[in-house]
Structure 1
């Protein structure tokens, strides 16, 4: 697990997007940081947040329309 500090104006979504490249890990971040949601939508500057390991990404099946 990694720890990052929030920047001014950060939300959990923005932290996830910056670190993981998308927002699919928001629930995992909230689960790894009990009480994080009590800070509200905008997180205070400099707050330490634990980031869980990223889930492996699966690629959707390729569909060929023409062969």
Structure 2
């Protein structure tokens, strides 16, 4: 089973690219048992979705 550090790294990576089946299973198992990592995973998913929906604040050409 993953450590919390490994789980948080895999959860972050899973937001960017699909994980191999075994890594997904190990991550799911860790998240099912660890409330802190489960909360972290939900928070980064929320931030990812919120950043997609927010206006692009830094796209203006100010120069």
> Normalized against structure 1, the TM-score is what?
0.28
> Normalized against structure 2, the TM-score is what?
0.29
Q: When you count helix as a share of all residues, which structure comes out higher?
A: 2
- Answer 1 or 2: higher relative contact order, Cα 8 Å, separation at least 6: 1
